Amino acid sequence: MLNPRSMHYEAQRSRTARQNRVLIVDDCDDAAWALASLLQSCGHEVHVAHTGQRALELAELLHPEVIFLDLAMPEMDGFETAMRIRRRRWGQGITLCALTAFDTPEFRERSDEVGINRYLSKPAELDDLVAVAAT
């Protein structure tokens, strides 16, 4: 979810930033597509998956530079998805960013253990989301 307090952000600023292929993985349809819309407006190529399994399939096919991962998903959570991505040769250089409502020390520690590079809690600041997408 986006934080409305950070809506002062000017999309024009992001046009000078690096544009990447981004995969958003979230079982909440509205949250995934809201972020997708934002990042597309910044010039990124954006794809959405609503399950960990679909995320693996798309990541293998698309080789995104950045993946935003919801950690609390049914069936295959974001931790398992991240571990499986990191096991693949093509998954080594991807920036993985947790985007979750659960901001606990345990979740942060486990994120580090499975190879997640960044951790943002919902609602995330707009500037932070755009900065991660441009890395």
Q: What is the pLDDT of residue 18?
A: 77
Q: Each residue's pLDDT tens digit in the chain (135 positions)?
A: 444 443 333 333 444 467 999 999 999 999 999 999 999 999 999 999 999 999 999 999 999 999 999 999 999 999 999 999 999 999 999 999 999 999 999 999 999 999 999 999 999 999 999 999 998
Delineate the domains of the chain, giving CATH numbers in brackets: 17-133 (3.40.50.2300)
Question: Given this model, what pLDDT does residue 12 score?
Answer: 39
What pLDDT is recorded for position 4?
Answer: 40
Tens-place pLDDT, residues 50-64: 999 999 999 999 999
Concatenating the DSSP letter of every residue in the chain gives: -B-GGGTT--HHHHTTS---EEEEE-S-HHHHHHHHHHHHHTT-EEEEESSHHHHHHHHHHH--SEEEE-S--SSS-HHHHHHHHHHSGGGSSPEEEEEES---HHHHHHHHHTT--EEEESSBPHHHHHHHHT-
Cα gap 102→87, rounded to integer Å: 25
Q: pTM score, two decimals?
A: 0.87
d(CA 91, CA 74): 22
Residues 1-18: tens digit of each pLDDT? 444 443 333 333 444 467
Question: How much is the pLDDT for 17?
Answer: 62
Residue 3's pLDDT is what? 43
Count of C-beta atoms within a 10 Å radius of residue 2: 18
